[in-house]
Structure 1
């Protein structure tokens, strides 16, 4: 586990900063800035689409991948919207996330949902 925190411990901004620090210090050959954009999008979605606005962020490696995972209390899975609709109504986050990572996954859990983004880790 590289890093984990939740909304009871830190703000979204601080979580993003801590994730960046841990990624930079990890020695992994990854695009930290792209990953931090994904962290921001996932946390923003957790805040905007749940009543409690609570979330848990985990950043870890498994089976040759780096995983950014956000769990929250919402039970509605994200839906990708048409990216050509730039009318201020939102809905572009999932498309942005998918363009910056290798794989995304979302699932309803017993307590809400879990959305993750994965990157294949370059071998040195």
Structure 2
């Protein structure tokens, strides 16, 4: 497995974040042990897939009690990640995994594109696209990518407030 982390705070990780590796690729909406996961297959050929992914993500995060401001961030992240997969992958389908664990909401998109290192790039002022990873880098507390069984996986994580932080608000 190849793994490229992008952590705004340290940039140092030696393994994929808990729950974003291969074991989450086959998990459906499951509750137990404090973890919550959603896994759905979407069309990589449909321009509606980002909206569908956003809908499922928002509904499940709401159901799981995630604060509204964090849901908004997750909606932006899932839109960018799924849009990138629709535009750049060569397969017919992609998998969206949303998981809550270790105090984070983690969004992972697996597509059939070949793994190649991603990096945010500067788009020209008149470009209609090309800013997705810049948005992901700005909004996510951590993001990265890895290769898994011939698929490309890109993830973004948003830190969730602790109970103490929620009580002080």
User: What TM-score does the superposition give when structure 2 sets the normalisation length?
Assistant: 0.65
Quick check: which has more Rg, 1 or 2?
2
In 1, Cα distance between equivalents of 2:53 and 2:83: 12
Aligned to 1:108: 147
* 1:1-124 equivalence runs, <5 A: 1-7=36-42, 11-12=48-49, 13-29=51-67, 30-75=69-114, 76-82=116-122, 85-88=124-127, 90-124=129-163
By how many angstroms is 1:89 displaced?
Answer: 5.7
RMSD: 1.9
Say which SS state the counterpart of residue 4 (structure 1) adopts: strand
Contact 1:81-1:95 within 8 A present in 2 as well = yes
User: What TM-score does the superposition give when structure 1 sets the normalisation length?
Assistant: 0.86
Q: Where does the alignment leave 5 or more consecutive residues of structure 1 unmatched?
A: none
By how many angstroms is 1:53 displaced?
Answer: 4.2
Q: Where does the alignment leave 5 or more consecutive residues of structure 2 unmatched?
A: 1-35, 164-169
Paired residues, what number? 122
Contact 1:46-1:54 within 8 A present in 2 as well = no
In 2, Cα distance between equivalents of 1:112 and 1:89: 27
Deviating runs (4+, > 3 A) in structure 1?
Answer: none
Residues 86-120 of structure 1 show CA distances to partners (whole Å, capped at 9, x for unaligned) of 23162210010111110001112222211000111
Contact 1:16-1:36 within 8 A present in 2 as well = yes
Structure 1 residues 46-55 or 66-75, which shifts more?
A: 46-55
In 2, Cα distance between equivalents of 1:47 and 1:33: 21
